[in-house]
Amino acid sequence: MSGSARPSRTGEAAAGNPLSEALRRNDVLVCVGEGGVGKTTIAATIALRAAVEGRRSMVCTIDPARRLANSLGLSELGNAESRIPAEHLRAAGLPADAPIYAMMLDTKRTWDEFVERYAPADKREQILASRFYQSLSTALAGSQEYIAMEKLWQLHSRKDYQLIVLDTPPTSHALDFLDAPNRVLDFLDNDAARWLLRPALVAGRWGLQLFSFGGSYMAKTLAKLTGTDTLRELAEFMLAISGMNESFRERASQVRELLAADRTSFVLVSSPRIEGIEEVAQFQRVLQQNHMSIAAVVLNRVQPPPLPSDWAEAAREEGPLRAKLEATLEERRRAAERDAEAIAAIRSVCAPTPLIEVPALPTDVHDLISLWRTGRFLFGEERLEAAQW
Amino acid sequence: MARLLDKRLLIITGKGGTGKSTVSAAAALVSAREGRRTLVCEVNAKDRVTQLLGLPPAGPELTSLAENLWAVNIRPDDAMREYALMTLRLESIYKAVFENRFVRYFLRFVPSLQELVMLGKVLYHLQQKLPDGSDRFDTIVLDAPATGHAISFLSVPRVLAQTVPPGAMLREAERMRALLEDAATTAAILVSLPEEMPVTETIELGAGLREREIQPQAAVLNSFTAPRFGESDLAALAARKRLLLVAREHRRLSELSRQSRETLERGLKLPVLTVARRYERRFAREAVEEIASELEPGLKAGR
């Protein structure tokens, strides 16, 4: 099942296939990339391969879309970790005992669990009942990243899995995800925030104490924007959760350590489009700044070109059929050329990170068979040319 | 019979990678060509729309792109500043308050506030007037975030209207909610691709928006492949293994396109406009112009 030594189209030896090595060496792989590039598919493919190699693996998505459920043939995914049923694996011709698990992060429930675990007992009710908590923990943007890191850390610290593959939300949000531990720490380490919290803690209530911060002028001005009550309620909420600050701080730095750990690596998934180049460069930069490592850049759904013999054969046909065939081959040629051009450009900004090309498969990848097939390319056992329709 | 083009706010949304920015640019071109003063808004994005039109980035200031066509790229920090300045009137107050380290962190910690002010800026332009009292823009095309985030982004006013106590923020949220939920003013257009999962997600997105009282009024099926090879073609190619695969693959794509259109029509109960799959190496302005022509009849059709 392991990668063979066949060279890929671009000359990278499959023997040292960066992902085969990464899935054996790492215990956390984080898949990042723009929406729609097939990130979830790649995450599931990696977890499936690791499981078939006998590693207990978990694929966890924080993307609100239900793609993963479809890909894994599960109708419902929730915060619950579920094992992919043996009959699904068997039906796909894979070892039925491959230990692969999947879950989709339930943001609200994970927040609740976090509060229940870490909030001081006398504050728990107040936090859970706060309208700010309600919106923070449900629909509102930004909260996913905060809580996803908590979940990743929990899963990792339980040591139940030998490999956790984490799928993330689209680009700007994937960067937000990386930034989330820093953001939390920044906020909690802020002197002004502590200064603001202290008198209120001493007074035991907020009220006017908040508005005396920095001279009432500043708070009053702020209140013009948010409304006085909003500001006060928010302050009360922040006071209530301040009891959790230590837990937040500790957890955020643990997560930061986990993401930068030797056995954690990122996989950047992109499409073979010239527009992707900036994204690849940006992610590389951010990961480097954070002392995090990239296992590979995966370019998904690359179109292979038609063979010269296809043109010769088409020329032997006549009339409208020949025209239709030539039009189709021309489209395929142009699509392949477009991809090849983009790949060359991305390769130039990507080095020394290995670049892996996965072809567009003739079927929508949403079942275990096609996930496995995707893996054959991802792990360098099949070459792009082999994907000819 | 209201036409899509007569809506004041067109929200273009869909799964990532479906071509939302392209459809936004094309819809804005159609609108501007018709003589409607049109503003295309990107939200915290990379100036994709202006890039597609072969123009320099719009940035945070209103930029004139062509006759009747403007663009703006709304970023959270700029939007926050503008909103604050509008409310507070004085730059010096803004500086004293909003450039305070704590206040910045404070505002950042309220995630919805960023969405609120960005959406607020979109809706501000919607209500902007010219000196003669007419609307500054007839149409705003909003290139909205991808699926999951579109719902949370667009439902911020609704969520806030239900959570925040009375005050300026509540009034703002309610005002915005009223505009977004008025089907005569606002139409969401869902962009999809002819593949099983994107189609399923588009239908879910439509349902999600309806649940939040924002009305999707059309879908755009991008990268559409029209049928080319018939049964007799396949029969003629029976002995040519590779070419048969070429023809079959094309048939598969056109079949998938047809099915996707039907599934979307059934699942959303909306008209589905199609945009042909394209093969050029660089996506230039001419491509967007052609897509605009493809979308034009659908955008102008009465419902």
Q: Each residue of A58-72: pLDDT tens digit?
A: 998 765 445 557 657
Tell me phi and psi for residue B150, to 5 degrees: -65, -45
Comparison of pLDDT for A61 and A327, the residue scoring more? A327
Whether pLDDT at A10 is above 50: no
* pLDDT value of position A197: 45
The per-residue b/e assignment along B76-106, b for 16 or more CB within 10 angstroms, e otherwise, is bebbbbbbbeeebeeeebbebbbebebbbbb
* Range from A30-34, A91-95, A348-352 carrying the lowest mean pLDDT: A30-34
Which band of pLDDT confidence, cut at 50, 70 and 90, is reported for residue A126?
confident
CATH number of the domain where residue B284 is located = 3.40.50.300
Instruction: Enumerate the residues of chain A whose CB falls inside 8 A of the CB of residue B85.
Output: none
Give the pLDDT score at A366. Answer: 66
Range 164-193 of B in CB contact (< 8 A) with A: 164-170
Write down the domain spans for chain A.
Answer: 14-387
Give the E-state strand segments of B67-155 in sequence order: 69-74, 139-146
Residue among B177, B203, B181 at smallest CA distance from B190:
B203
Of A95-104, A203-212, A376-385, B40-49, the one with minimum mean pLDDT is A203-212
**Whether residue A343 has pLDDT greater than 90:** yes
Q: What's the alpha-carbon Rg for chain A, to the nearest Å?
A: 25
In a domain, B284, yes or no: yes
Q: Note whether residue B155 is domain-resident.
A: yes
Poorest-pLDDT segment among A152-156, A175-179, A309-313, B185-189: A175-179
Tokens read off for A212: 């005396």
| Per-residue pLDDT at A183 | 63
Determine, yes or no, domain membership for B96.
no
Is pLDDT larger for residue B2 or for residue B9?
Answer: B9
Which is higher by pLDDT, A172 or B250?
B250
Question: Any idea what DSSP says for residue B8?
Answer: S
**Could you tell me which of A186, A184, A360, A204 has the C-alpha nearest to residue A272?**
A360
Q: What is the domain extent for residue B21?
A: 4-88+115-300
Which CATH superfamily groups domain A14-387?
P-loop containing nucleotide triphosphate hydrolases (3.40.50.300)
Mean pLDDT comparison of A5-14, A369-378, B164-173, highest-scoring range: A369-378
Identify whether B59 is part of a domain. yes
Cβ contact (<8 Å) for B166 and A229? yes
Task: Find the closest chain B residue to A341 by CA distance.
Answer: B281
DSSP letter at B222 equals E
At B54, the pLDDT band (50, 70, 90 cuts) reads confident
The yes-or-no verdict on residue A118 having pLDDT over 90 is no
Is B100 among the domain residues? no
Percent of chain B whose predicted confidence (pLDDT) is above 70: 88
> Would the pTM of this model clear 0.95, i.e. be above it?
no
The more confidently predicted of residues A53 and B282 is: A53
- pLDDT grade for A170, boundaries at 50, 70 and 90: low
- Of chain B residues 17-56, which have a CB less than 8 A from chain A? 17-18, 44, 46, 48
Give me the interface pTM, i.e. the ipTM. 0.81
272-291 in chain B: CB under 8 A from chain A: 279-282
A211 vs chain B: nearest CA distance in angstroms?
A: 13
User: So what's the pLDDT on residue A209?
Assistant: 45
pLDDT for B94 equals 63
Instruction: Answer yes or no: is pLDDT of B297 > 90.
Output: yes
The pLDDT of residue B237: 93
Does B250 map to a domain?
Answer: yes
User: Residue B65 in 3-state DSSP?
Assistant: strand
- Does the pLDDT value for residue B221 go beyond 90? yes
Q: In this complex, is the C-beta atom of A95 within 8 Å of any C-beta atom belonging to chain B? A: no
- Residue A185: φ, ψ to 5°: -65, -45
pLDDT tens, residue by residue, A245-265: 777 778 878 888 898 999 999
Residue B93, domain member (yes or no): no
- Smallest CA-to-CA distance from A103 within A71, A78, A86 is with A78
Reported as a pLDDT band with limits 50, 70 and 90, residue A34 is confident
Mean pLDDT of B103-126: 73
Task: Give the best residue of A188, A225, A331 to mutate against chain B (max B CB count within 10 A).
Answer: A225
- Band of pLDDT at residue A222, cut at 50, 70 and 90: low
Query: Is residue B209 in a domain?
Result: yes
Task: Give contacts of A 339-378 with B, CB under 8 A.
Answer: 341, 362, 364, 366
Q: What is the mean pLDDT of chain A?
A: 77
At B133-176, the pLDDT tens digits run 999 999 999 998 776 677 878 887 887 777 666 777 778 788 88
Residue A280, pLDDT above cutoff 80 = yes
What residues contact residue B244 under an 8 Å CB cut-off, 6+ apart? B234, B237, B238
- Please tell me which residue, A334 or A367, carries the higher pLDDT value: A334
pLDDT tier, B214 (very low <50, low <70, confident <90, very high otherwise): very high
DSSP letter at A305 equals P
Tell me, what's the pLDDT at B58?
81
Mean residue pLDDT across chain B: 86
Q: In total, how many domains does chain B have?
A: 1
Degrees (nearest 5) of the Cα angle A266, A36, A285? 35
- Is pLDDT above 90 for B111? no
Q: What is the pLDDT of residue B188?
A: 96
The reported pLDDT for the residue numbered A61 is 79
Q: Residue B124: pLDDT above 60?
A: yes
Among chain A residues, the shortest Cα distance to B196 is held by A364
- The rounded distance, in Å, linking the Cα atoms of A336 and A323 is 20
CA dist., res. A32 & res. A168, Å (int): 6
Minimal Cα distance from A220: which residue of B?
B97
